[in-house]
């Protein structure tokens, strides 16, 4: 162990005190200067100018990167300063000018502010049977709808109000009204409701656009009530056109595909173009989870335009039909009757003195049994209607979906192995099938 003399110990003690004092002086002096500057704000012009010059010189080395603020114009940055220094730095900066909205943002804001009051929330009440076999009301589904007439007519999806005992329509202002189902079209999943608006109340109407002029990539907006979050706006593009989608037992043709977020509760709400015109009725989504994954479908507004008047006037859509009993070809029938084609609709019987029979459509003559059914073979086989291929009964429904009783269609048939075209007037589908 090393031994020190008394003089050496005194020297080391003095040296340690000096070092400690210098350290304390180095820490306390900047704090004192900062306190005097922040508390009094006094100082000579030369000192202030020197400090500002120093701050300007040191600032670039203190910046850490751009501040991602969409509301502040220019390329602002965040200094790597403590809270108090950062607060003081902000106080010394000139006010930043807010960046104006982009053209796209202004369009979105304008459409929402103009039209969101025209979108209603639809809730339903259904009837159930309790343990005592008594009917009791219970909450049904919910969805959205568009006001299409100032008299209180609302366009929505048929599945939103299917099996409803009561329908309630809630406006943007929060007022709730009893709704009446005016008409339904299950084949296009559309329905028209009506409520009685208060006197002297002007309703916001969603205007119809034109879905035939749509292009893939076109901007679209959806307003609805997803998950009961009222009047939600989502934005996307047209992702596809002409999609045939199965809805229940029916195939809805020419559906619009969009990536605008559509979720449960959006059904029946409007799909709008960038002018605020309805170009579709949001109907369904493709989702393995039940939430939106960017694949939604809307009924084209031109389909709705075609059926709305009939729904209001008749409560249903009157469609044309070929008044004959037809059988979709299947392998056993093709083999047994030695038919020349394996796809199409065999005309088994025509209605006596009906429109199809008078037009020259030929029925079968030889009866064969298939299970409990009797089929007459030897007649015409329908393969096309107005140029559209007919392979199944579903194809025939689709080809005649937009037709009306009395319309004349060109029916392509195979007769005795030859292709023949016949012009056939259409009967009323309900009268033929009932």
Catalytic residues: 159, 189, 267
Q: Is 149 left (phi over 0), alpha (psi -120 to 50) or beta?
A: beta
Residue 289 tokens read as 């989870």
Residues sharing a CB contact under 8 Å with residue 248, sequence separation 6 or more, in sequence order: 159, 186, 189
CA distances from 223 to 145, 261, 267, 282, 307 (A): 9, 10, 10, 9, 22
Q: Which of 169, 279, 173, 268 is nearest to 220 (CA)?
A: 279
Distance CA 298, CA 144 (A): 13
**CA angle in degrees (0–180, nearest 5) for 357-321-284:** 160
Please list, in sequence order, all residues whose beta carbon lies within 8 angstroms of the beta carbon of residue 262, skipping any fewer than 6 positions away. 222, 224, 226, 234, 282, 284, 285, 292, 296
The CA-to-CA distance between both ends of the chain, in Å, stands at 118
Backbone angles phi, psi at 287, to 5 degrees: -155, 125
SS3 content of the chain, % helix, strand, coil (to 5): 30, 35, 35
Q: Distance between CA atoms of 173 and 147, rounded to whole angstroms? A: 14
**Is the distance from CB of 295 to CB of 239 less than 8 angstroms?**
yes
Q: Token match 């900066």: residue?
A: 93
Which residues, in sequence order, are CB contacts of 220 under 8 Å at separation 6+? Answer: 235, 236, 237, 238, 258, 260, 271, 272, 273, 274, 279, 280
In whole angstroms, give the CA distance from residue 45 to residue 259. 61
Tokens of 250: 């029916």
């Amino acid at each position: 162990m090393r031994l020190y003399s008394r003089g050496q110990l005194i020297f080391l003690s003095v040296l340690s005190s000096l070092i400690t004092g210098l350290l304390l002086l180095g820490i306390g002096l900047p704090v004192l200067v900062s306190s005097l500057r922040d508390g009094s704000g006094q100082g000579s012009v030369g000192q202030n100018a020197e400090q500002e010059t120093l701050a300007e010189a040191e600032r670039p080395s203190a910046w850490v990167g751009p501040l991602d603020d969409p509301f502040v114009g220019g390329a602002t940055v965040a200094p790597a300063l403590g809270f108090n220094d950062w607060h003081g730095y902000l106080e010394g900066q000139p006010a930043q000018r807010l960046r104006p909205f982009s053209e796209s943002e202004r369009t979105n804001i304008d459409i929402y502010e103009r039209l969101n009051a025209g979108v209603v929330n639809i809730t339903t009440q259904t009837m159930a049977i309790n343990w005592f076999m008594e009917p009791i009301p219970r909450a049904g589904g919910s969805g959205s709808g568009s006001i299409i007439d100032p008299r209180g007519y609302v366009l929505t999806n048929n599945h939103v109000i299917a099996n409803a005992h009561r329908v309630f329509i809630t406006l943007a202002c929060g007022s709730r009204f009893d709704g009446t189902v005016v008409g339904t079209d299950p084949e296009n999943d559309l329905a028209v409701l009506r409520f009685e608006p208060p006197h002297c109340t002007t309703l916001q109407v969603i205007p119809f656009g034109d879905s035939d002029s749509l292009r893939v990539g076109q901007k679209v907006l959806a307003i609805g009530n997803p998950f009961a979050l009222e009047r939600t706006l989502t934005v996307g593009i047209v992702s596809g056109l002409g999609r045939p989608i199965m809805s229940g037992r029916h195939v809805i043709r020419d559906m619009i595909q969009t990536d605008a977020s559509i979720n449960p509760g959006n059904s029946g709400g409007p799909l709008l173009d960038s002018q605020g015109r309805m170009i579709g009725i949001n109907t369904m989504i493709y989702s393995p989870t039940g939430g939106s994954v960017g694949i939604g479908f809307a009924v084209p507004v031109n389909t709705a335009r075609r059926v709305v008047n009939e729904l209001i006037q008749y409560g249903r859509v009157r469609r044309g039909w070929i008044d004959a009993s037809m059988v979709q070809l299947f392998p056993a029938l093709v083999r047994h009757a030695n038919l020349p084609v394996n796809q199409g609709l065999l005309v088994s019987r025509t209605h006596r003195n009906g429109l199809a029979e008078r037009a020259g459509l030929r029925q079968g003559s030889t009866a064969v049994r298939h299970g409990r059914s009797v089929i007459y073979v030897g007649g015409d086989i329908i393969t096309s209607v107005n140029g559209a291929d007919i392979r199944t009964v579903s194809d025939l429904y689709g080809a005649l979906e937009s037709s009306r009783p009395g319309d004349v269609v060109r029916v392509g048939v195979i007769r005795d192995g030859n292709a023949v075209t016949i012009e056939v007037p259409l009967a009323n589908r309900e009268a033929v099938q009932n």
